[in-house]
Every structure is written in C-alpha cells, then in structure tokens.
Structure 1
Amino acid sequence: MIRPTVYISEPSEIDSKSLSILRSKYQLIEGDCEFKKNYSQAHSNLMIRTYTKVDEKAFEVFPNLQNVVRVGVGLDNIDLDICKSKNVKVFNSAGSNANAVSEYVIGSIIFSKRKLHLLCKNDLVSWNRFKFMGSEIKGKQIGLIGFGNIAQLVYKKLKGFDCEGFYVFDPYISKEAYAAENIIFTQNIDTLIKNSDIVSIHVPLSDETYHLIDFDSLSSFKRGSVLVNTSRGAVVSEKDVIRAMVEKDITYIADVFETEPKVRKSLVKSPNFIGTPHIASMTKEANFEMVKTAVNNFLEGRPVNL
C-alpha cells in the first residue's frame, strides 16, 4: 500500500527524531522553501517551519494541498484567507515553546540591566568593575503587551523577582480570570508604556499589530527603559526604535526583525541594541515539543483555522 506523502520544506530546521510517529504513517519528502527539490503536484500535505510562505504560489505548486503543518506558533507566513477559501486545514504547535521563550525574556532582561552586553575580554584583564554598575529587576514596573501563553509565564516568573507592579494590555482576554492577581489591565498601550520600566511584546503579527510600536508610542517610554520583542519584527518600527534608543536612552532587545534573516546595519550599530537571530525558542526541549505538538495536532485532526 502506498503511503500518503508529507512534503517537508525546511528539513534541517525540524528535529527528525520527533517525526517517528508521522514517519510510520506517511512518506516524508525532504524539500526546500522554494518547492524545487523533490517537488510533485501530488503532494497534499505540507510541513513548514519559519521561512516557507504558504501563499498563491504555494497553491500553484501544490494544487492538491489539503493540510499545512506549521512547526511553531506564529502563522504570519501562512495566508489563512486563501487556506480557508480552499478548505485547507492549518495545524501549529501553540504553547509548545512558551517556557523557552519566557526564559529567554527573563534572561535577556537581566543581561541588559546588568550591562553584560557591554562585556569584552579587556574588562577582565583591566578589572573594569564599575563599567557594569547596573540595576535590579526588583521593584520595577513591568508592561506586557499581549497576555497569551508566553506572557503569562513571563508574569509568573517575574513575580518571583519582586517586581512592583504589572501592566497588561490585551483586549482579547477575560480580565475576570485574573482578578486575584497583581495585574493592572490598561485600556490602551500608551498607559502601559508610561507606567512601565520594562515592556515585553507578545502579540502575533497582523494588520492590527503592524508597527504597533512606532515613534508616537516610543515617545511615551520612560527614559532608560527596556523594550523586549520576541513576537515578530514588524510589530516594532525599527526605524523609529533606532531614533528612540538615542533620544530616550531605551534599550531594545530583539530576537525578531522586520526583514529577517537580514538585519538593518543601522540597528546593529546602535549602542543600546541587543539582538539575537530568532533563537528565543531554540532549546532542545522546545524544539522537540514543537514538532511533537504539531504532528499530534495534525494526526488527531485539530486545525486552528477550520
């Protein structure tokens, strides 16, 4: 009996050990993001990671496409409207990387507040201690834009650092469920920003959130505050944040970028910038869970769009 196929567009980005269950039921075809390697119109199942686009071109290549399995959480590289119109099911691995990303957020905040990003080998040789006079997280006001799986873990972990208060902006959650928590839910982002020493972004990229953080909102930041972006690069206007880092002495920590994998040179050169190449979820545990969850959702018929 011929097994149905799954075309994997980014095989090097997916933990093959986690695919054993899928491999027992499907023939796995290793391809590429441009759909040129091992391509066949017969493929009806597509597994992607981060840099594969599921758009009109993808449906031209795979006219019989029925299922898209996204190993990861964000769906901004998938045209959900087209998928819906063609009755194509989309599966992802929501929540599977939440702990890894939340740990990255906490670690990067500490890293920046203690000025470890300024460290060079000569500092040890010269014993340049006072270059690293930083500040503590204790007593700081925290702002969380979006309050999904990741942001809730960030909140839970930061409570252990005795932060003074938490401001949350998320119009899509039930505030009553968190009535007993030390959270102030704001009606707008501006109020959150004005009251926070540290702001962390946790929203998907959409028309609504594109350049959600622009120069107007950046102008409301406290001088010397920290902005962390592990969501999507285009949620923040990079041109505006480059300016704000100079004028407001803001530290910008970014794991995601508007034009990734390319990064603006002017951003990298900014003295208050800390950047990493989209690695917030890159732990062995999260990598395994992302594949496992996506595969299970696919095999058990739990799409996110239909």
Structure 2
Amino acid sequence: MSEYKIAVVNSSSFGQVFTEHWKELEEIGEVKRFMLPTDIDGKSLAAKLKGYNIIIASVTPMFDKEFFDNTEGLLLISRHGIGFNNVDIKAAKEHGVKVTIVPQLVERDSVAENELVNLLTLVRRTVAAAERERDDRYEDRAEFMGNELSGKTFGVIGCGNIGSRVAELFSVFGGQVFITDPDPKAPEGWLKSHNVQRVDLDTLLKNSDYVSLNASLNDGNYHLINAEKVAEMKKGAYLCNNARGALIDETAVLDGIKSGQLSGYAADAVEVEPVRASHPFLHNDRVLLTPHTSAYTYECLHGMGEKCVSDVKNLIANKPLVRELTSTLA
C-alpha cells in the first residue's frame, strides 16, 4: 500500500494526543503533517500537497475550486471535524474527490459544554478574578461582580446538532429558552420538555439576556450579527459564539460592548484565524476568546481521529464512507 501518501493539513491535534491514529495511518502509507498559511491560495496549496492522494483537513485553509483545478490524483479529503465551509464540495465532486466529515454527535457535547463554560467564565469574570488572586491581591475581590443565569431568558440561533444541546443546557437554569432556525426539525415534545419556544430572530434578540450563536456559516448569514442587530438586542445582553467567527461583525460587537449595549462576548472562533496578540478582542476585558478548542476533549478528539482513520481504511478497501458529502450532492 505504499502508493498512498497522506497529508495532515493544519491540524495540531490529530495524532498528537492519540498517537495510535497516526501509527495506523503509517501502516497504510507515508504520513506527513503540513502547517500552512490559512490564506494560502488554491494553486499554491495544490503545489504544496502535490503527490498526496489523501488529506486529513482542519478548518483551514480553503480547498477551493482553484485548488481542485490544480491537483491530480487526490482521492479523499477527510475533515477532522463537522464543518466543511472551507471545502468546495461541488468542485471536489467534479474532480472525483470524496469529502467526508465527522458525524455530528461526536462533537455535540464537547462543543455545547464548552460554550456554556465560556459563557459562565465571562459572566462570572472567573479568569480575571483568578489572575488577581495569583497576584496576591485577594482584597480586590469586590471588583469582580457578575450575573446569574438562573431564571434568565436565553436565545439560541441555529438549533441543529449543537444548538439543540446548548438549548438543553440553558434549560436547566429554569428560564425561557428561545430558538430560531430556518429548518424546523425540533419536535414538539422536545420543545415542551425543555421550555423551548421557536421565535423569529428579532424577537429572540430583543428578549434574551444570553444569546448563543450555533448556526452554520453560509452566504446568507455572513455577519448575521451586525451593528443593526446589536442595536436590537436587549441592553446588557451577553453574546457567545462557538460556531464560526464570521457570523458576527467584530467591530459592531466591540462597539456594542464599549457602549454598554452588550455586557460581553465569549467566543471560540474569529473570522480570521489564527488569532494574533494584536487582535482587539484580546484587549477588552469584556471579551473571552479561546483558540478554537471547543472540540478539545479527550472523548471528542478520540472520536474524530477514529472517524478519519476509518475513512482512509474504508477508502482503500473500497467500502462505503460514512458522512460522505460528495455522494449526496446533486
């Protein structure tokens, strides 16, 4: 099987914690990790990966039409995650390249729980208080006033796999949970058991104390939360985002925090990654930003790695691939 060459692209986690996944791929063929610029153009990306016929792909870079037009012999792109907005699925299919993603349930709990953790950490100002304690400044503790979540109103924008779990976690605080989603899949029994009500986006923003973004990124919701929507939000609301950074206009959210319209913003993703120290989010103590680590639990990373390895094994054995996006594209 020496004809198989496997490129692990921009993933700093695959094969690192669970080294057995890397070793399993080495039994199939040559494996090499590539850490490439996130904004590399398609033609240059194809040149860098020339000769590799299997790719384990992270959230970056973009595998666009230009990439597929300039590559030869590529058989599979296995996404080390559930998102696929960095892969042109149509172009992949036109060039005979299979594209797979991790089943949604693998990431569901990890991402949803991290969103709640980030929100609670921001609201209760946990990091700042802990740092002050480390600096031997116990007497400053009165500065770190926070807010409760119990009995408050919550809004979930995008109530699919992860958003529905976020709504379930919010429901334990006993308040009303609003959801908005263009795809009305949530069954009536689930809505009632978790005190969830389906509303339009404007109603959700005007009434929610805490708003969670969980929508997929597409052409219709780029900068979904812009200056106009920030102005519509309930004054003093908190916003959290563990989906895609481009769902918000970063300047509008920062302006909303500075004006007091928003109390804070917690996020695990920004529009342009990796984040550098100069990013304005990192210079505002009402923003909590983590480096795209929502899926970084042992349980989730193991499941993601297992799926990528099984994709490669199934491909070379000519077996069906699970969650193959190109097989369902019309």
TM (normalized to structure 2)?
Answer: 0.82
The residue aligned with 1:261 is 274
Which one-letter code corresponds to 2:14 in the other structure? I
Paired with 1:10 and 1:150, the residues of 2 have a C-alpha distance of 24
Per-residue CA deviation, residues 175-231 of structure 1 (Å, 9 max, x unaligned), is 435343311111x21111111110111112111121011111111111221100111
Conserved in 2, the CA contact under 8 Å of 1:250 and 1:272?
Answer: yes
Alignment partner of 1:107 out of 94, 98, 117: 117
Matched, 1:145 2:154: no
In 2: Cα distance, 1:142 partner to 1:121 partner? 30
CA distance in 1, matches of 2:148, 2:170: 12
Distance in 1 (CA, whole Å) between partners of 2:11 and 2:291 is 19
Deviation at 1:289, TM superposition (A): 1.4
Counterpart mapping for 1:103-252 below 5 A: 103-119=113-129, 120-121=131-132, 124-160=136-172, 162-177=173-188, 178-181=190-193, 182-186=195-199, 188-247=200-259, 248-252=261-265
Matching residue of 2:83: 74
1:287 matched residue in structure 2: 301
Per-residue deviation at 1:255?
Answer: 1.2
Match of 2:321 in 1: 301
Q: Is the 8 A contact 2:46 2:70 kept in 1?
A: no
Figure out how many residues of one structure are paired with residues of the other and give that number.
Answer: 304
Structure 1: distance between partners of 2:93 and 2:60: 21
Over aligned residue pairs, what C-alpha RMSD do you find?
A: 2.6
**Is residue 67 of structure 2 the alignment partner of residue 58 of structure 1?**
yes
Structure 1 SS opposite 2:232: coil
TM-score, scaled to structure 1: 0.88
Q: Is the 8 A contact 2:53 2:74 kept in 1?
A: yes
What runs of 5+ residues in structure 2 fail to find an aligned partner? 315-319
Compared CA separation, residues 12 and 198, structure 1 to 2 (3 A) = closer
Q: Distance in 1 between matches of 2:272 and 2:296?
A: 20
Structure 1: tracts of 5 or more residues without a match = none
Native 8 Å contact 1:142 1:163 kept in 2: no
